[in-house]
DNA sequence: CGATGGTTTGAATGCTGTCAAAATGTGTGG
DNA sequence: CCACACATTTTGACAGCATTCAAACCATCG
């Protein structure tokens, strides 16, 4: 073997980073990025691993490179609520606060890029363009979180399932178009376990199973496997969800790419 | 009459402002404040008045001085969800976005201080300390919004009512202590209409009525009138709510005062 | 091939929404 | 101050959706 195994933790190699173009660091200047990577490490985490514990000291902040994290709140009697999901390119953690307000856990095996919190805070001061980008990201997250109030407060469980499928299908569409692939089928990939999904939607795995199969029997979706669904009739799925096309967009808004000017847009092949 | 009626809109008189010490502008430097007030106007709004309409151009951002705003999402079939409440001292609106993602309406007759949005955005660039404060505020709002996912996703309706009472009681406590008054009784003031409260908690006015009277019959609270409740047994109310004391704090975290150093803290009389 | 974990399906309970009516409160005009 | 209209709140009865509990089904893996 010519190259040593990088192991579970390695200093950031930004030039090969899969989310370089759309994560927070994309907004950094050349000096800002050099600064940022000095304090950053890439870490592999395994499913269910606790990355930051609720109420514990929040030692770092980070960005998801691959996989997914769940943001969890646990009640005294043991009830758990997934209050947020964090997908590749998205920022997580709590700058300017000593302890974490939530528990961050790996929803699946994931790769994350973490930065020591105090160093990150100092860096925000030195590089206001990064702080500005973080503000934009946080405001988008806030709008998405508010939209979730609509989902949990006003939608019935069938509508929630339909909405989630639409959001994940759109996310996949977007992801494929980014790498220049043409999605011949509209597919929603759940990406997380049924248990997490149930908690995220404020319902149970049984109810989700029932609704998914109801949508399948209605010919609106096709069940590929328990985590993948082809959207056969987008219009009817949207009608079932009860929400508008515009409101759907708010759910996905968590990801903030910096405004790309024409020169930055990479040539993409469509074949 | 020696003084003309200021009318419904008047330029900001920051020195007499009731929320001067805890709103976003408290973080501004002397020059920043002078800059800010040039673009700001105080407006009186009457209950149910729409301040910013969903999808419409967001012409301004603002801060609530007195009263309360509701942040509303309306579905195609007419269902309405109050996704947020905005109380005195809190910021509202959406900088760096052309259109509003929600409808902002006066929950009660209110006084707001509004700033032309584009001017506000330019001002954030000129005064990074204000942008930093906005970031802190937004992150707090985000944590509160996530906590609301717990409320809507995991709590039953009785727990939601109990939680709301605890939050409003704490808020009142805090408000009274700020003006140096000693609250002899722990009182929760709803401040908003039952209809708005029902929507905010993701339930109905009937269900709220039943739970409030149940809590009253149990001797946990005393109903003063339909909008005011004395908390007789804080411990039991907390137990009923199902959430921890720490989690309660997250709900109120929307308000960000700048860090006060010892010299700034006003002498308070406790009689 | 049995074991294990996750998913699906079924039946029953119960919480909460809906509808309706009574009660209470509020404001106006006589 | 009373009478009336109107809005809000409360109370009651009922229905329905979703959770719970339980069993069957299925896939993966040692």
Kindly report the number of other CB atoms within 10 A of residue A269's CB atom. 7
Residues B94 and B71: beta-carbon distance below 8 Å: no
Residue A173 region by backbone torsions, left for phi larger than 0, else alpha for psi between -120 and 50, else beta: alpha
Q: pLDDT by residue (tens digit) across B136-194? A: 999 999 999 999 999 999 999 999 999 999 999 999 999 898 888 887 899 999 999 99
Is B53 within 8 Å of B88 (Cβ atoms)? no
Shortest CA gap A171–chain B (Å): 20
Q: Give which of B162, B160, B147 is closest to B236, Cα–Cα.
A: B162
Q: Which of A126, A61, A167, A20 is nearest to B139 (CA)?
A: A61
pTM for this predicted structure: 0.90
The pLDDT of residue A142: 97
What crossing angle do the helices spanning A128-154 and B128-154 adopt, rounded to 10°? 20
Would you say residue A12 has pLDDT above 90?
Answer: no
More confident of the two residues B261 and B126: B126
Identify the pLDDT of residue B253.
65
Contact assessment for residue A241 and residue A159, using Cβ atoms and an 8 Å cutoff: yes
Please write the tens of the pLDDT for every residue from B46-56: 999 999 999 99
Closest to B227 (Cα-Cα) out of B179, B174, B164, B177: B164
Distance between CA B213 and CA B222 in Å, rounded? 9
Instruction: Encode pLDDT of B197-230 as tens digits.
Output: 999 999 999 999 999 999 999 999 999 999 999 9
Residues A257 and A88: their CA atoms lie apart, in Å, by 12
Q: Quote the minimal CA–CA distance from B178 to chain A in Å.
A: 23
Tell me the CA–C1' distance in angstroms for B218 and D3: 38
Chain B residues lying within 8 Å of A199, measured CB to CB: 153
Among residues A89, A75, A94, the alpha carbon closest in space to that of A18 is found at A89
What pairs with residue B16 in β-bridges? none
What's the pLDDT at B252?
A: 84
CA of A185 to C1' of D28 (A): 28
- Report residue B267 CA to chain centroid gap: 26
How far is it, in rounded angstroms, from Cα A264 to Cα A270? Answer: 18
Determine the distance from the C-alpha atom of residue B222 to the mean position of all C-alpha atoms in its chain, rounded to a whole number.
Answer: 24
Q: How far apart are CA B133 and CA B95, in angstroms?
A: 14
Nucleotide nearest to A195 (CA to C1'): C6
Does residue B195 reach within 7 angstroms of strand D, measured from its CB?
yes
Nucleotide nearest to B226 (CA to C1'): D9
* B261 vs A112, residue with greater confidence: A112
Mean pLDDT of A123-149: 96
């Amino acid at each position: 073997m010519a190259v040593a195994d990088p192991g579970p933790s390695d200093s950031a190699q930004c030039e090969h980073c899969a989310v370089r173009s759309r994560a927070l660091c994309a907004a950094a200047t050349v000096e800002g990025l050099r600064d940022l990577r000095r304090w950053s490490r890439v870490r592999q985490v395994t499913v269910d691993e606790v990355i930051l514990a609720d109420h514990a000291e929040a030692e770092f902040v980070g960005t998801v490179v691959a996989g997914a994290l769940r943001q969890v709140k646990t009640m005294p009697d043991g009830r758990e609520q997934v209050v947020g999901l964090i997908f590749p390119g998205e920022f997580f953690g709590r700058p300017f606060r000593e302890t974490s307000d939530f528990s961050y856990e790996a929803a699946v095996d994931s790769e994350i890029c973490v930065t020591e919190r105090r160093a990150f805070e100092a860096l925000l001061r030195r590089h206001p363009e990064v702080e500005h980008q973080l503000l934009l990201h946080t405001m988008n997250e806030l709008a998405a979180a508010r939209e979730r109030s609509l989902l949990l407060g006003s939608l019935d469980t069938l509508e929630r399932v339909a909405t989630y499928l639409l959001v994940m299908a759109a996310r996949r569409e977007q992801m494929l178009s980014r790498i220049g692939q043409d999605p011949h089928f509209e597919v929603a990939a759940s990406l997380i376990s049924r248990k997490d999904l149930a908690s995220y939607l404020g319902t149970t795995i049984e109810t989700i199973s029932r609704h998914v199969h109801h949508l399948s029997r209605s010919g609106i979706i096709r069940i590929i496997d328990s985590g993948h669904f082809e959207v056969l009739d987008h219009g009817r799925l949207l009608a079932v969800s009860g929400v508008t096309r515009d409101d759907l967009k708010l759910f996905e808004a968590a990801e903030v790419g910096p405004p790309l000017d024409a020169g930055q847009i990479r040539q993409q092949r469509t074949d």
